[in-house]
């Protein structure tokens, strides 16, 4: 074998020889996402692992996503058939099992629950309604995605449309949970759309909020929230778990873990040993899962699937989902404002689209713009955390009605 | 279920059921929270009266009058804050306002301020 031949053979084992144009484009997209995460601060905690996962998955010949290969071997003596592993499969393939089997998103919810204070919601139970109203965005987008079937060449089946709609829930783990079960091939674009729009909430929401409210409504100052008793704080997570799981068993794993985390948080003040569990749930465990989840979700963004018109449609529909959710939340806020005789500032309605706590901060900021002495943050946290429960319930409905 | 209109029809059903369930569950929860509030109030009703009385007594105790300037605006603001904090119980009188000595190091103050700015 001559030197030239040897060099040529070696070249064939290099990634350069096998790279396709789609992979090159995907690598460029991952660079842009890394830039957005690092320089622009777009949800860096998740977008960075997602972008890097995308990069890893589009390196040719690396085989990080490779499935394990088994061979059927027949025992010559007994005639028994057994499976023998020929290749163990790639790293990301195995880490992705946690997404595929629906394990990571509930674990993230455990941490979210341990970090969330449901006090504002317990203090003002009616604000839960705003968290429900904002879920209209999910279902309107679901219908919008189905309506696209009337355009030839573009179309989503029902599970796909449901996964696109859930972007409007503005809740990353819920969106990933549902999509991994209903339409795993769309996981890449949906996760990227969901997390990008969550980062863009401060840009998307204010124009809609201002367009739908008058200045006088934005200026409304709300009464101080009542203090919440220990008993209420402890009973709340148990109550929510039982009620939601009985009505909607499909949402039990998400809501159950969310509330377990919250119970750990509230109970840690009674039994200080529980502090350790709470710290782990909201700290290291969550960080570990975020790394696994982000990287593997990014790694599903395969060039051939990602670079298609449907991705563009998903991005546009996701924007619509966010906008409609914001709008219906604010409209419900207006209705509540009228019904309570002007005690509720409609701006807190937009916080119903989860995206905790970004959406609540947006309510606070827009409210303070209109009336500098206005503090809506805690009032907006009520609908905000109710939105998390609301989108988990909506995901449960979609999961039980749209999986064929 | 292959034609576009059939799928849209099923989508409408899912939407109705979905929003229905979301509202029923969350409205149900909101009323259950009302019940919970009543229950927890019933449990702590006896205790609740005590702190109210103490509050109105504590106010003058805490504050030893050393205020030099006659600052009407400041008094109004502080009274309003106390009133908002006490909620419905307006049974108190501000006798004097006194600055509590602050032992917080400057670094801690800056840190606190930074955290608050980060949140808002």
- Quick check: bond before A62 cis, omega within 30? no
CB contact under 8 Å between B14 and A150, yes or no, is no
Query: Considering its fold, how many domains does chain A have in total?
Result: 1
Q: What are phi and psi of A86, to 5 degrees?
A: -95, -45
Reported ipTM: the value is 0.84
Burial of A282: CB neighbours in 10 Å, binned 0-12, 13-18, 19+ = buried
Please check whether residue A276 touches B, CB under 8 A.
no
**Residue B10: which of A290, A39, A143 has the closest Cα?**
A143
A81 DSSP β-pair partners: A74
Global confidence as pTM: 0.80
Position B45 scores a pLDDT of 54
Q: Is-contact A165 A142, C-beta < 8 A? A: yes
Q: B63 pLDDT exceeds 80?
A: no
* A246 in B contact zone (CB under 8 Å): no
Q: In which domain, by residue range, is A208 found? A: 93-402
Q: How far is A281 from A108, CA to CA, in rounded Å?
A: 8
Chain B nearest-CA distance from A297, in A, is 27
Indicate if the pLDDT at residue B118 is higher than 90: no
What's the whole-number mean pLDDT along residues B59-72?
Answer: 53
Sequence-distant (≥ 6) Cβ neighbours of residue A18 within 8 angstroms: A60, A61
Whether residue A368 lies inside any domain: the answer is: yes
Option in A136, A146, A397 nearest B17 (CB) = A397
pLDDT tens for each residue of A232-243: 999 999 999 999
- Where residue A223 falls (left for φ over 0; alpha for ψ -120 to 50; beta otherwise) is beta
Chain A residues 114-143 with CB within 8 Å of chain B: 121-122, 125-126, 128-129, 131-132, 135-136, 138-140, 142-143
Give every CB contact of residue B61 below 8 A, 6+ residues apart in sequence: none
Contacts of B19 in chain A (CB under 8 A): 132, 135-136, 139
A62 in any annotated domain: no
Alpha helices in A340-376 (DSSP H): 358-370
A243 in a structural domain: yes
User: Residues of chain B with pLDDT > 70: what percent?
Assistant: 72
Which chain B residue shows the shortest CA-CA distance from A159?
B11
pLDDT for B50 beyond 70? no
A74 lies in a domain? no
Residue A57 counted as domain residue: no
Inside any domain, residue A247: yes
- Note the pLDDT tens digit of each residue in A354-404: 888 889 999 999 998 888 888 899 999 999 999 999 999 999 999 999 987
Question: So what's the pLDDT on residue B43?
Answer: 66
Q: What is the pLDDT of residues B96-109, one digit of tens each?
A: 777 777 778 888 88
User: What's the pLDDT at B70?
Assistant: 63
B28·A236 Cβ contact <8 A: no
What pLDDT sits at residue A386?
A: 93
**Under 8 Å between Cβ of A281 and A201:** no
pLDDT at position A372 is 85
| Measured torsion, CA atoms of residues A77, A79, A81, A84, in degrees rounded to the nearest 10 | 20
Instruction: Please compute, for residue A279, the number of CA atoms within 13 A of its CA located in the half-sphere on the CB side.
Output: 6
pLDDT value, residue B56: 44
Contact between A132 and B26 using a beta-carbon 8 Å cutoff: yes
For chain A positions 203-232, those within 8 Å of chain B (CB to CB) are 224, 226, 229, 231-232
B115 has pLDDT over 90: no
Measured between CB atoms, does B12 come within 8 Å of chain A? yes
Given a cut of 70, the residues of chain A with pLDDT beneath it are: 1
pLDDT bucket at B1, cuts 50 / 70 / 90? low
User: What H or E segment, with its residue span, contains residue A84?
Assistant: strand A81-87
The set of long-range contacts for A40-47, using a CB threshold of 8 Å and a minimum separation of 24, is A40/A199, A41/A199, A42/A195, A42/A196, A42/A199, A42/A200, A43/A195, A43/A196, A43/A198, A43/A199, A45/A290, A45/A294, A46/A172, A46/A195, A46/A290, A46/A293, A46/A294, A47/A195, A47/A196, A47/A199, A47/A294
More confident residue, B5 or A238: A238
CA of A375: which chain B residue's CA is closest? B120
- The answer to whether residues B64 and B98 touch, using CB atoms and an 8 Å cutoff, is yes
């Amino acid at each position: 074998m001559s030197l030239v031949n040897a060099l040529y053979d070696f070249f064939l084992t290099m990634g350069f020889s096998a790279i396709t144009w789609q992979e090159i484009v995907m690598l460029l997209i991952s660079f842009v996402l890394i830039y957005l995460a690092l320089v622009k601060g777009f949800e860096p905690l998740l977008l960075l692992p997602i972008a890097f996962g995308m990069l890893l998955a589009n390196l040719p010949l690396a085989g990080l996503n490779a499935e394990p290969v088994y061979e059927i071997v027949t025992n010559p003596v007994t005639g028994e058939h057994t499976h023998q592993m020929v290749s163990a499969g790639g790293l990301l393939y195995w880490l992705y099992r946690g997404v595929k089997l629906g394990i990571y998103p509930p674990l993230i919810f455990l941490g979210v629950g341990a970090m969330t204070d449901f006090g504002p919601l317990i203090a003002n139970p009616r604000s839960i309604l705003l968290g429900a109203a904002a879920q209209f965005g999910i279902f309107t987008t679901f219908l919008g995605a189905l309506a696209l079937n009337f355009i030839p060449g573009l179309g989503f089946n029902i599970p796909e449309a449901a996964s696109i709609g859930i972007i409007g829930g503005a809740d990353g783990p819920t969106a990933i949970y549902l999509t991994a079960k209903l339409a795993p091939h769309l996981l890449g674009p949906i996760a990227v759309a969901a997390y990008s729009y969550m980062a863009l909430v401060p840009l998307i929401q204010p124009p809609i909020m201002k367009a739908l409210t008058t200045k006088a409504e934005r200026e409304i100052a709300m009464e101080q929230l009542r203090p919440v008793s220990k008993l209420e704080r402890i009973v709340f997570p148990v109550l929510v778990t039982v009620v939601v799981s009985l009505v909607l068993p499909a949402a039990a794993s998400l809501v159950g873990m969310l509330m377990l985390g919250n119970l750990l948080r509230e109970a840690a003040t009674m039994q200080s040993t529980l502090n350790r569990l709470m710290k782990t749930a909201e700290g290291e465990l969550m960080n570990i899962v975020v790394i696994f989840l982000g990287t593997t979700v990014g790694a599903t963004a395969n060039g051939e699937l990602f670079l298609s018109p449907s991705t563009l449609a998903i991005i546009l529909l996701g924007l619509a989902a966010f906008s409609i959710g914001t709008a219906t939340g604010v409209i419900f806020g207006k209705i509540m404002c009228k019904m309570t005789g002007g005690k509720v500032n409609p701006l807190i309605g937009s916080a119903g689209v989860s995206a905790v706590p970004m959406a609540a901060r947006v309510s606070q900021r827009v409210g303070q713009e209109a009336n500098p002495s206005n503090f809506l943050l805690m009032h907006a946290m009520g609908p905000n955390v109710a939105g998390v429960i609301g989108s988990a319930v909506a995901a449960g409905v979609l999961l039980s009605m749209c999986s064929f | 279920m292959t034609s576009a209109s059939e799928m849209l029809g099923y989508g409408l059903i899912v939407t109705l059921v979905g929003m229905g369930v979301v509202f029923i569950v969350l409205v149900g929860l909101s009323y259950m929270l009302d019940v919970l509030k009543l229950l927890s109030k019933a449990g702590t009703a006896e205790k609740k009266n005590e702190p109210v009385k103490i509050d109105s007594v504590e106010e003058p105790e805490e504050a030893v009058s050393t205020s030099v300037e006659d600052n009407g605006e400041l008094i109004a603001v502080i009274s309003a804050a106390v009133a908002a904090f006490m909620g419905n119980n307006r049974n108190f009188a501000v006798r004097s306002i006194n600055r509590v000595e602050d032992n917080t190091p400057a670094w801690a103050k800056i840190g606190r301020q930074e955290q608050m700015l980060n949140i808002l």
